Amino acid sequence: MTMAMALTSHSPPSLQIPSSIISLSSMSYSLSRKHIRFWEKSPFGSGGNEDHLTLLKLYCPKTTTHSHKFKCFSQDPSQSESQQLQFERLFSNLNQVTFKREPGSLSSAIFLVAGTTVGAGILALPAVTQESGFLASAMTCIFSWVYMVVTGLLIAEVNVNTMCELGSGGVSLVSMAMRTLGKAGVQVVCWSYIFIHYALLVAYVSRSSNILTNYLHIPQWESAALFSLVLGGICYLGSQRFIGAINGVLVLGIMVSFGALVAVASGDLQWDALLKANFQAVPMSIPIIVLSFVYQNVVPVLCTDLEGNLSKIRTAIILGTTIPLILFLVWNAVILGTITNLELGADKMIDPLQQLQSSNGAVGPIVEAFSLLAIATSYIGFVLGLSDFLADLLKLPADRGSPVPYILTLFPPLALSLLDPDIFFKALDFAGTYGVLVLFGVVPAAMSWSDRYSSSSPSSMLLPQLVPGGKITLSIILGGAGYVIFSELLEKFGHP
């Protein structure tokens, strides 16, 4: 019987395995640092219902950083010579009922990244970039996009290496930090991750409940509960493909409503206003712009769904964040190019989006629809990321069978959003300024540095690196985050 194991894009030869050893009809495997285990539920065993375990050892020598394939040597007990294998993925996702492989869809992964990125941050961009102007803010958006793409790829690289070493999927930032940074790194990751996610989920539920209350004319607590339970139920009960399809529909709705908004609002666009550039005002907008590009919380989920396929993971991250980048640039151009007569004050900032809604009655419903869809896609991504994180933290199964991670993910933000939302605004600003740059800036570079160059990481050379540049790139990532954090500290606390 012939089995093509983890084919690369270069179509390497498949491995010939006798049918007496492995039954292809019902098999799962996972790659650890020393071997691959094949679990077979064979219909041909005694009585037709016994489980049989076959172990096929694979000796994996370290490859150079220039290699783009997993090179391993298979040693079957009945064979004297080893065979070289080349792997595209680390394991296969199997349906627990049919035992058939269900690989994650690349398009669904792209939509998941795009949907997670397009959240409430886009609604705040015009307000925080109006002083710097479109030209300066556009350059800042592009640099921030590159920065966040790199940190996401670093997280994916460490995640796949960790799955390879531990021999299991569903590895979250906790396991990655423990393996690379130790207990101190775990504490930083845990508290930063939990704080950022709960704060943003509170904001999403609060904003969406306001929109639904206006449309459905029901109490706000009912709107908040409806939003949380419907989308939370989809995350808990839905399969990977179903959640991907829902995300695809929501992202399509975002693009349609976005196109309608641009078409309606761009009639009064003043092109000369787009050339405004005040680079001195750029630093104050960086935290919100960086917050707008947050998607790294779903990278562990992405790596598991795509079975550790590095090529697909890279494509999903780059294309999935390119869509929001284009939306952000066009959105900012339309808003800042249309509303140009704002009076800026030191203590109060007028939101250009609110002024546009008040000046153009046709824009209001479109903005509300766009906002709700954007929040919904981001909410799904954050629920999946936080529930996976909590499951790993609590040492629960990663197969979405336990409701505990989802209860802990959904109900605290729901309860907190029903309180006065004003008390969370400063917390959200603090999360964007410090939490995001620490968790998704400093931590990925530090983990990658340890994973690549620490002598205690034996598997760091097993897989190709997703981000080139070595220590120079990692130093730039660390230095950039540190500079922004230090500048914000001086701005807020350095003056009496």
18-32, 192-206, 241-255: the lowest-pLDDT one: 18-32
Which residues, in sequence order, are CB contacts of 264 under 8 Å at separation 6+? Answer: 360, 362, 363, 366
pLDDT bin (cut points 50, 70, 90) of residue 401 is low
At residue 102, what is the residue type?
A: E
Specify the pLDDT at position 488: 78
Highest mean pLDDT of the ranges 73-87, 132-146, 180-194, 302-316: 132-146
What's the CA dihedral at 253, 258, 259, 264 to 10 degrees?
A: 130
Residue 489: pLDDT above 60?
yes
The pLDDT confidence band at residue 441, using thresholds 50, 70 and 90, is very high
pLDDT of residue 276: 83
d(CA 386, CA 426): 22
| CA-wise closest residue to 177 among 440, 478, 463 | 440
Taking every pair of Cα atoms in the chain, the longest distance, rounded to a whole number of angstroms, is 81
More confident residue, 46 or 490: 490
Model confidence over 231-280: pLDDT tens digits? 999 988 888 788 888 888 988 898 898 888 888 877 777 888 888 888 98
Query: From CA 154, how far away is CA 148, in angstroms rounded?
Result: 10
Stated pTM of the model: 0.73
Q: Rounded CA gap, 264 and 261, in Å?
A: 5
Across the range 96-118, mean pLDDT stands at 78
- The CATH code for residues 106-493 is 1.20.1740.10
Contact assessment for residue 73 and residue 58, using Cβ atoms and an 8 Å cutoff: yes
Q: What would the pLDDT profile of 129-158 be if each residue is shown by its tens digit?
A: 888 889 999 999 999 999 999 999 999 999
Q: Could you tell me which residues are beta bridge partners of residue 226?
A: none
Reading the block at residue 457, the tokens are 């990481």
- Determine the pLDDT at residue 478: 94
The CA distance from 195 to 283, in Å, is 24
Q: Provide the pLDDT for residue 431.
A: 66
Residue 466 has pLDDT above 70, yes or no: yes
Give the count of beta carbons closer than 10 Å to the beta carbon of residue 372.
Answer: 21
Mean per-residue pLDDT for 336-363? 68
Q: What is the CA radius of gyration of the chain?
A: 24
Q: Is the pLDDT of residue 77 over 80?
A: no
Average pLDDT over residues 372-391: 86
CA distances to 39, 147, 250, 426 from 154, in Å = 31, 11, 28, 30
* 70-84, 166-180, 327-341: range with lowest mean pLDDT: 70-84
pLDDT cut 70: percent of the chain above it: 70
| Token pair in block for residue 220 | 């706000």
Tokens of residue 298, six digits = 């779903």
Token readout for 123 is 């609604």
Residue 350 has φ and ψ, to the nearest 5°, of: -85, 130
- Across the chain, mean pLDDT equals 75
SS3 of the chain: the string is CEECCCCCCCCCCCEECCCCCCCCCCEEEEECCCCEEEEECCCCCHHHCCCEEEEEEEECCCCCCCCCCEEEEEECCCCCCCEEEEECCCCCCECCCCCCECCCCHHHHHHHHHHHHCCCHHHHHHHHHCCCCHHHHHHHHHHHHHHHHHHHHHHHHHHHHHHHHHCCCCCCHHHHHHHHHHHHHHHHHHHHHHHHHHHHHHHHHHHHHHHHHHHHCCCHHHHHHHHHHHHHHHHHHCCHHHHHHHHHHHHHHHHHHHHHHHHHHHHHCCHHHHHCCCHHHCHHHHHHHHHHCCCHHHHHHHHHHCCCCHHHHHHHHHHHHHHHHHHHHHHHHHHHHHCCCCCCCCCCCCCHHHHHHHHCCCHHHHHHHHHHHHHHHHHHHHHHHHHHHHHHHCCCCCCCCCCHHHHHHHHHHHHHHCCCHHHHHHHHHHHHHHHHHHHHHHHHHHHHHHHHHCCCCCCCCCCCCCCCCHHHHHHHHHHHHHHHHHHHHHHHHCCC
- 82 pLDDT higher than 60: no
Q: What tokens appear for 454 in the block?
A: 């620490």
Say what the pLDDT of residue 409 is.
Answer: 92
